[in-house]
């Protein structure tokens, strides 16, 4: 199989992430209100926790020690990034400012790092043969849609248009086609990096969800509603992944 086809397959998975913003083409952010924003944070946290759990499981299967080290590094990375960004009170990201801009940068950054591990996974899969590669590509594309929704749930209620949220979602997944090709061409090298990469993404996503997004949601909405929405979102994500062939 030629590498341009591997690149095209991985690009398809990246574009699928943008589909997660489509619900906001129907439901405007103005109709959500403060409580809706809080529950959107809770839903995004639930989706991220489910995704981090799946990433951690895959990482442990491939290399327990590397995955554990990666997870610790992921948590440390988010804590350091959060501390650095918190020093910039006038942080500006388009329509977002201050704390909202910081949160947006963190979640897009986390998802981008997460996509790097997924891109390696796609390339390694194609290295084992085209049928497995396409199998993983389809599963990854479906899996990426709720990840785009998680990003949109943070961005749109804070004033970002659904089209911009779709773009940021796709942007966060661009490492997939960029890393799928070198991973395909150098399977053995990148396969050794995959467990640590999966662990890193899992640790970063889980820490962001638990330390930032859920506490932020609880400041406005009651704890029971926040936990219920987060759990339902996580279960929906796990259920979707369970019905994907090979998921």
For residue 29, what pLDDT is reported? 61
Tens digit of pLDDT for each residue in 8-29? 999 999 999 999 898 888 876 6
For residue 90, what pLDDT is reported? 65
For residue 74, what pLDDT is reported? 87
DSSP per residue, 178-238: HHHHHHHHTHHHHHHHHHHHHHHHHHHHHHHIIIIIHHHHHTTS-HHHHHHHHHHHHHHHH
For residue 92, what pLDDT is reported? 65
Q: What is the pTM of this model?
A: 0.76
For residue 64, what pLDDT is reported? 93
Total Cβ atoms within 10 A of residue 238: 17
For residue 68, what pLDDT is reported? 95
- Measured between alpha carbons, how far is 31 from 83 in angstroms, rounded to an integer? 33
Cα–Cα separations (whole angstroms), residue 8 to 16, 135, 169, 171: 12, 14, 18, 15
Domain residue spans of the chain: 3-243
For residue 15, what pLDDT is reported? 94
For residue 18, what pLDDT is reported? 93
For residue 36, what pLDDT is reported? 78
For residue 106, what pLDDT is reported? 83
Q: From the first residue on, what is the mean pLDDT of each consecutive set of 10 residues in the chain (247 residues)?
A: 85 92 78 75 87 87 92 89 74 67 81 83 82 80 84 82 91 90 85 86 88 87 92 87 60
Total Cβ atoms within 10 A of residue 112: 17
For residue 16, what pLDDT is reported? 92
For residue 1, what pLDDT is reported? 59
For residue 78, what pLDDT is reported? 84
Look-up of token digits 């006038």: 90
Look-up of token digits 């979640």: 107
Query: How do beta strands 96-97 and 92-93 pair?
Result: antiparallel
């Amino acid at each position: 199989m030629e590498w341009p086809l591997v690149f095209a397959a991985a690009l398809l998975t990246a574009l699928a992430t943008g589909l997660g913003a489509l619900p906001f083409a129907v439901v405007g952010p103005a109709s959500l209100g403060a409580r809706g924003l809080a529950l959107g944070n809770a839903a995004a946290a639930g989706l991220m926790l489910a995704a981090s759990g799946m990433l951690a499981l895959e990482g442990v299967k491939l290399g327990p020690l590397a995955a554990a080290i990666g997870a610790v590094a992921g948590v440390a990375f988010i804590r350091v990034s959060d501390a650095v960004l918190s020093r910039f009170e006038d942080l500006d990201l388009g329509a977002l400012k201050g704390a909202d801009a910081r949160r947006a940068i963190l979640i897009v950054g986390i998802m981008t790092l997460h996509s790097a591990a997924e891109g390696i996974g796609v390339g390694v899969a194609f290295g084992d043969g085209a049928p497995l590669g396409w199998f993983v590509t389809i599963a990854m594309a479906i899996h990426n849609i709720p990840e785009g929704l998680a990003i949109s749930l943070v961005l749109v209620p804070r004033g970002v248009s659904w089209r911009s949220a779709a773009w940021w979602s796709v942007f966060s997944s661009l490492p997939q086609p960029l890393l799928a090709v070198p991973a395909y061409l150098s399977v053995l090298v990148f396969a050794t990096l995959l467990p640590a990469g999966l662990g890193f993404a899992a640790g970063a996503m889980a820490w962001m969800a638990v330390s930032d997004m859920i506490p932020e949601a609880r400041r406005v909405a009651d704890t029971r509603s926040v936990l219920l929405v987060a759990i339902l979102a996580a279960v929906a994500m796990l259920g979707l992944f369970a019905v994907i062939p090979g998921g």
